[in-house]
Amino acid sequence: MKVLVTGGAGFIGSHVNKLLLNQGHQVTVIDDLSKGHKEIVDLKVDFHQTSLDDQQQLESILTGHDVVIHMASYIEVGESVKKPVEFSQNNIVGTVKLLEAMKNTGVKKIIFSSSACVYGKPAKVPITENDSLGEQENPYGITKVAMEDFCKLYFTLHGFDVTILRYFNPYGPGELHQPETHAIPNFIKSTLAKTPIPLFWKGEQIRDFIYIDDLAAAHVLALSLTGLHIYNVGTEKGSKVIDVVKKIFEIIGYEVPIDDKGERKGDVTTLVASAKKIKQELGWNPQISLDEGLKKTIDFFRSHPSST
């Protein structure tokens, strides 16, 4: 298939690109590089530095593709509170422009990169896809709900094939966000640099951490789907954040102090997926344990000291 990946110069996108190429697909990437890194894009990819805001350019690139994997969005929760207009413009309006460009060029299949944040504070765990979406506490979450809704609307109005993947907590080698807001890379980088680890809620929150290669595999399995599908992508195993910190100390071989940040508004106590649906319907199963994934991620940051 000929696959266009938006945001393909980002952490998750770069891993999806490699898996697609390994399975013989043609891959095109568009990324404005405001958050992405050109150096992590495989040389076999047809790369275009452009923005979702340029619908005319999108249409010229899209022509002839079979499917879009849409990952281009701003993701920093704290930044979204400071810049709600910017996040809405990039995430929501950019998605609508992409969908319009797809409609105009006859590319009517999209796999959308969503987030477990759409559930808000869940009423129960594990969370299933049928659970209602919770009240959002930041603009980022609102944009993800709106992006999902627009994708579903194009299924209803224009006959698009739509797959929505709700990620839980991805981690792994190659995470180079600036600023980095995800827990595991920050914990690893602080430990390797022998500086205090910033920790909210004393690390008592429970999260479902999923290794990047397992997450990437879900996108490839969804390529053949038709109709409308929504899947959680998580391991179904909850880990206390403080226990993850202790595992990192154990693997690296020493400890560093904890910088107790206290409580943080908007944090959910427990976030664990039910992945029963994606396992049954797509045959997807996570392959990498948390211990193995942490070792691989630590090895990456050890071999890339400039990113720590």
172-207+237-307, superfamily in CATH? UDP-galactose 4-epimerase, domain 1 (3.90.25.10)
Taking the mean position of all CA atoms in its chain, how far away is CA 272?
16
Q: Which amino acid, one-letter code, is at 150?
A: F
Could you report the per-residue pLDDT of 134-155, keeping only the tens digit for each?
888 889 999 999 999 999 999 9
> Where are the chain's structural domains?
2-170+209-233, 172-207+237-307
Query: What pLDDT shows up at residue 242?
Result: 96
* Fold entry, domain 2-170+209-233: Rossmann fold (3.40.50)
> Structure pTM?
0.93
CATH topology agreement for domains 2-170+209-233 and 172-207+237-307: no
Could you report the per-residue pLDDT of 272-305, keeping only the tens digit for each?
999 999 999 999 999 999 999 999 999 999 987 6
From the candidates 74, 140, 171, 211, which is the catalytic residue? 140
Residue 66, both tokens? 């079979």
Among this protein's residues, is 171 annotated catalytic?
no
Could you report the per-residue pLDDT of 240-270, keeping only the tens digit for each?
999 999 999 999 999 999 988 887 776 778 8
Mean pLDDT of the chain: 92
Asked whether 133 and 120 are in contact (CB, 8 A), the reply is yes
Could you report the per-residue pLDDT of 44-78, keeping only the tens digit for each?
999 999 999 999 999 999 999 999 999 999 888 87
Rounded distance, CA 276 to CA 281, Å? 9
Query: What pLDDT shows up at residue 37?
Result: 87
Contacts with 231 (C-beta within 8 Å, 6 or more apart), sequence order: 129, 163, 164, 165, 166, 218, 222, 275, 277, 278, 281, 282
Could you report the per-residue pLDDT of 5-52, keeping only the tens digit for each?
999 999 999 999 999 999 999 999 999 998 888 988 999 999 999 999
